[in-house]
Structure 1
């Protein structure tokens, strides 16, 4: 399965549209681009794989694998990139401003169900990050 994340960059955050097979899945928010600096930047554009991950903080969520010079880049719920993210990607139902969104948990659950179903079918899940 292939997911496409199409980004728009702003000084205060990065907004995105996540699609699967040409169909809209959800919006996303991230930190602004700051040269891939750990904990203050979104990740570089490119091709990555997703896998299941569990932590006490986020329970079952998604990890983005293979990000150069970075680790533990996750998909998890958050509504404010600057306050709640450290390089991760947050699915949101609605964008409200650069790096801000609404109803993240609802969007995250929709994305997680889609990705987990593909992984259970033994499919690889590829995330392609690009910009307009």
Structure 2
């Protein structure tokens, strides 16, 4: 299973994506804002991913059945505040809070890693926290 373990910071959320225990990428997201559309990271939980293509993002993934939200994507972005609206962006490393490097390259790495699983069955993403519930606020 694809796992995203998060750390909640003041202005962003940082995470690490692993597949079967192996590091794939780090992630950046907007901070937790009570699951409000376009300004909050998504709630923790298990989501099915669907692969999609667009001219803007090339290959990316859509999270299905996010409570009270839609169009939540995993797509390239190096600055959460400027480029994300509630989505998740894979990055190679963190450069500051909510910022990272080489997101397009890292997105390709993620897509390649997930391809064998997508063909055979649904890809599930489990989002959990490295911090307690009180630290989110």
TM-score between the two structures when normalised by the length of structure 2: 0.91
Corresponding residue for residue 3 of structure 2: 4
Which stretch of structure 1 is more off in the superposition, 39-48 or 107-116? 107-116
Q: How many residue pairs are counted as aligned between the two chains?
A: 130
Q: CA-to-partner distance for each residue in 1:5-24, whole Å, 9 max, x for gaps?
A: 00001111000000111111
- Unpaired runs of at least 5, structure 2: 131-137
Match of 1:46 in 2: 45
For residues 96-111 of structure 1, the aligned pairs below 5 Å read 96-111=95-110
**Backbone CA RMSD of aligned residues:** 0.9
Find the counterpart in structure 2 of residue 129 from structure 1: 127
- Spell out the pairing of 1:27-106 with structure 2 (5 A cutoff): 27-106=26-105
Mapped contact 1:46–1:130 kept (Cα < 8 A): yes
Q: Which has the higher strand share?
A: 1
Structure 1: gaps spanning 5 or more residues: none
List structure 1 runs of 4+ shifted beyond 4 angstroms.
Answer: none
Please give the TM-score of this superposition, normalised by the length of structure 1: 0.94
